Amino acid sequence: MLTWTVIFLVVALVAAVFGFSKIARGAAGIARFLFFIFVILLILSLVTDMFA
């Protein structure tokens, strides 16, 4: 999951450098979404580990 976030972040940065604003915006949005899902899953994993 984190790998996909990094891939979309790199795609967004490359697209931003070359001026493809719609592609950069879309890739950055996907990367942000995947990052927040990863953070939520990390927190859930830590909480369940504490109570297990």
pLDDT tens column, 3-47 = 877 888 888 888 878 777 787 788 888 888 888 988 898 888 888
d(CA 10, CA 13): 5
Residue 34 · residue 1 · CB < 8 Å: yes
d(CA 46, CA 51): 9
Q: What is the DSSP letter of 6?
A: H
pLDDT in the model for residue 19? 78
Domain span at residue 8 reads 2-51
pLDDT tens column, 28-40 = 888 888 889 888 9
Tally of structural domains, the chain: 1
Q: For every residue of 8-45, which 3-state class applies, written as one string?
A: HHHHHHHHHHHCCHHHHHHHHHHHHHHHHHHHHHHHHH
Q: Is the pLDDT of residue 1 over 70?
A: no
